[in-house]
Structure 1
């Protein structure tokens, strides 16, 4: 009896083990699959895991959460978004914008855009929608001169229509793109070798921090202001003050959305995106205006700079291109008057002002408020 029971137990043991392995088969298969993925290159792993990751974020009720039990981790939303070929898509969108629309289709298309983004066509220099041959011309429409009076009593005005994302003093060499999300001042502006074109710089012998080196006069501090242009806003931008532009630095980069929601989501978004930094001086010292590109904003145009080409495939990310406006024939650079036309975007984007001013300079703004070109930013 004892020997028989032992044989039965030995015979039953493998059956239970095989059944257990059979029940665990999907889990083991997934583990083997994940093990194979771990041996692949990062780009291959990212490509292979994308479909599951996208489904993970789209499907309701955490349908794919059980996969986490076997070691699978979804690719982060930020990584997926950064990997989208936004430069290529923006170039394609730019070409589509230049395609002339037939006369019968212009009004329906433009009216849909006006309704979607709340465009006020009563302010446009030309209100007749039939006049605009394509989307590009409509985006770059001009305004009637009288609808944007330039404030004469304040030294700095808003360069464009938009929303104030953030403003204030620059602290610890960092700037806020939205509340609680910062980026490095040096990463944003790049190496400080362009200051040789500036006439005043008291910090050459002992520059200190990057921020200190930009402040050229005793008793001054560095201030910043971020203006976001929505798709329905006026897309031209103007000179925010009387100043001279000495240098241009173009950073090729990504063209991710600069919507405030995305700006809260991606740290150093403005440093990743393509941008054009114009640097120079005003009456109180250092002054710069940076036009930051965004999705479908493949073209940043500076009216006085015919050499500038943005979202060009021959420029690679992570580099920058310098151009000096100070020459033997023009020692002053490019002089700009307050309110003068400076450039334009296609669709919407962001402008970042960084400037030196006396400590008593104060912004008359609220974060999130709407502002129009010509309205004052602050007082001294």
Structure 2
């Protein structure tokens, strides 16, 4: 375990993330430009694909980090059977959800769907299904889009820590994604339930959805549920769903028989929003 990963056990996660949020939303020209320039240079951000390629034009670092893309910068896989990759980034892990609901995190590490979702009953429908965990680095486009058309049924804000979700932490922090603060989004689709889990991380100071705005923070101490049934919130395949501040992780859960994961995808595979994640049968 790296020294930094070890130190994160003792760090005040929420305080640090709150301070980071203050910096991210600062409109001080010096602050925003320094942070934008540092991220662009260190992580090789491709500004040519941004809707606004001028880094000086953004009101804050957060506005830059959650930037939109030019029309056509990402396109949906044309195969109508394809469930889509929800974000830019790389695959952390993907594969089957075991019959007992266990989900592989890294060698020697796993967690259960019940722990991740904060709900044992909701997790049962995904046992024997499949999952994909996508890590977004600071260089990536930070908006998350729908893998498949769905009707929003419920969101569940599960409180927790804010460990880093970088590769070192994934290898060494047990049940990492079931420990971190997260927003679980449950959708009903034509193949059954689908869950998209927005996982917070160290210095990730917010998760926002297109239907409700800011969800994290305010950081919680108890599970908070919002029932969206009957509200008619339908999000089409490839439509924007939510966005992160800073890098983080989105996990997609599918029920048994819904789709077969796309061939060629494996841990560490670089991925782009809109490419095929899985294929519906037939």
TM over 0.5: yes
Give TM-score, length-normalised by structure 1: 0.68
Question: Partner residue of 1:311?
Answer: 217
Give the CA deviation at 1:241.
Answer: 0.7
Query: Does 2:19 correspond to 1:82?
Result: no
Give the CA deviation at 1:359.
Answer: 7.3
Give the CA deviation at 1:188.
Answer: 1.1
Distance 2:86 2:259 in 1: 22
Give the CA deviation at 1:124.
Answer: 0.5
Decide which structure has the larger Cα Rg and report it: 1
Question: Partner residue of 2:261?
Answer: 362
Question: Partner residue of 1:301?
Answer: 208
Which structure ranks higher in relative contact order (CA pairs < 8 Å, sequence separation ≥ 6)? 2
Q: Residues 229-276 of structure 1: CA distance to partner in whole angstroms, max 9, x if unpaired?
A: 001111111111111120100012111100011111101011110000
Correspondence for 2:235 among 330, 336, 356: 336
Taking only aligned residues, the RMSD between alpha carbons, in angstroms, comes to 2.1
* Paired residues of 2:154 and 2:227 also in contact (CA < 8 A): yes
Distance 1:147 1:242 in 2: 21
Distance 1:343 1:230 in 2: 16
Give TM-score, length-normalised by structure 2: 0.90
* Paired residues of 1:106 and 1:129 also in contact (CA < 8 A): no
Query: Does 2:253 correspond to 1:350?
Result: no
* Paired residues of 1:248 and 1:323 also in contact (CA < 8 A): yes
Within 5 Å, which residues of 2 pair with 1:112-127?
A: 112-127=38-53
Within 5 Å, which residues of 2 pair with 1:183-262?
A: 183-192=111-120, 211=124, 213-214=125-126, 221-262=128-169
* Paired residues of 2:101 and 2:126 also in contact (CA < 8 A): no
Question: Partner residue of 1:163?
Answer: 90
Give the CA deviation at 1:179.
Answer: 4.0
* Paired residues of 1:162 and 1:230 also in contact (CA < 8 A): yes
Distance 1:192 1:82 in 2: 27
Number of equivalent positions: 275
Distance 1:185 1:109 in 2: 36
Distance 1:105 1:296 in 2: 16
Closer, same or farther: CA 89–109 of 1 in aligned 2, 3 Å = closer
Q: Which runs of no fewer than 5 residues in structure 1 stay unpaired? A: 1-56, 59-76, 196-209, 216-220
* Paired residues of 1:176 and 1:182 also in contact (CA < 8 A): yes
Tell me which protein shows more strand as a share of its residues.
Answer: 2
Distance 2:181 2:258 in 1: 32
* Paired residues of 1:87 and 1:311 also in contact (CA < 8 A): no
Query: Does 2:226 correspond to 1:323?
Result: yes
Closer, same or farther: CA 106–169 of 1 in aligned 2, 3 Å = closer
Distance 2:50 2:113 in 1: 36
* Paired residues of 1:286 and 1:356 also in contact (CA < 8 A): yes
What secondary structure, in the 3-state scheme, does the structure 1 residue paired with 2:72 have? helix
Distance 1:152 1:295 in 2: 36
